[in-house]
Amino acid sequence: MRVSNVRRTLLSAAIAGLAALSLTIQPAAAATFPASHPRILVEYDRGSGQQPENVVVTPNGKLNVVLAQSAQIEEVSPGGHRRLLASLPQPADGGVNTPSLGFSLATGLVRTDDGTLYVGYAAGDDSLTGIWRIRPGGKPQRIIPLSTASFPNGMALDERTGRLYIADSTRGIIWRAPITGGTPTAWASGADYEPSGLLGVNGLKLHNGAVWVSNLDQGRLLRVPLTPDGSAGAAQTKASGLTSLDDFEFVGGTDDVVGTLNAANEVALIHPEDGSHSTILTGEDGLRGPTSLALRGNKLYVLSAAFVIEDGKPNILTANFHRTHHH
């Protein structure tokens, strides 16, 4: 009697254990249209500061990736092979004076056709903070200085005028500077751009005659018109209620946007036409605090730096992206 009881208990425990196991090993299929088939392309070592923060796709389909705390820029092949391109000099104190975070980190990234890279650096140091230029095979050079109080983040190049636009997340300013370098000028500033706790303006893109920026703390996507004389028009809120909207990318020529919601651990498809949004990727798909993304053809690349997800490995996730028109 007692033996069969013990056996039954063991058996039910084993079944419960198997059920729990099958729950954990089933492939998570949380990806929602238009995203599908997510998989991890690269996993990083958080301990060595390799937290992927920003990305551009090169014409030959490789990724140029900024690793935030290690202040490195590397190339990642479509198959996940990594190659170091450059390292920025680190502040001796680790960047303790970097506003909001207290550690130095490399941030925004722009690439020109000749392979030259422009990298934002929030270093908490007057001699390091700003925009750095890295020519192919060359040494990094700071060409646009910013003060210790600045937190340069998202960046975009207006190829027509040769000007860089730079989101300064702690000072609530969009800077503008010639890509050749020099002192930047404040192009736009004010309440729309300011932080309300940690970081304000963050991701930045040029699109259809306007500068678009996310405000991380305010959870908003803003469109700032470029007026005929090149100055900033009034900011227009195109979507709100987007928890910790970090970086974003336009879907083709449309105004639709794919955005990373960092602390929410989601990627959302945002429709500025009516301000609506839907979640297309989550932590179940492998996101670990997504910071930025790139869309090339029907491939979506999402970088997770795991700043806010303590138990996660930073990674690059890739997924298929089915382009459709939103009506």
pLDDT digits (tens, 9 = 90+) for 3-17: 444 444 433 433 333
C-alpha distances in Å from residue 129, one per residue of 77, 104, 137, 156: 29, 9, 22, 18
Token pair 């920026």 in the structure block, residue? 213
Integer angstrom CA distances of residue 292 from 3, 81, 245, 311: 58, 20, 10, 19
Q: Could you tell me the two tokens for 32?
A: 């929602």
pLDDT band at 311 (very low <50, low <70, confident <90, very high): confident
Say whether 76 sits in a helix, a strand or coil.
strand
**Is the pLDDT assigned to residue 231 strictly greater than 50?**
yes
CA dist list (Å): 66 to 18, 112, 142, 161: 41, 15, 16, 25
Residues paired with 260 in a beta bridge:
267
**pTM of the model as a whole:** 0.89
- Give CA angle at 219 (216, 220), nearest 5°: 100
CATH architecture group of domain 32-321: 6 Propeller (2.120)
Alpha carbon distance 224, 229 (integer Å): 14
pLDDT value of residue 29: 54
The reported pLDDT for the residue numbered 260 is 98
Q: What is the pLDDT of residues 118-160, one digit of tens each?
A: 999 999 999 999 999 999 999 999 999 999 999 999 999 999 9
- If you write DSSP's letter for every residue of 175-214 in order, what string do you get? EEEETT----EEEEESGGG--SSS--EEEEEEETTEEEEE
The domain ranges of the chain are 32-321
> What is the rounded average pLDDT for all residues in the chain?
91
Q: Which has the closest alpha carbon to 99: 177, 154, 172, 185?
A: 172
pLDDT at 86 over 80: yes
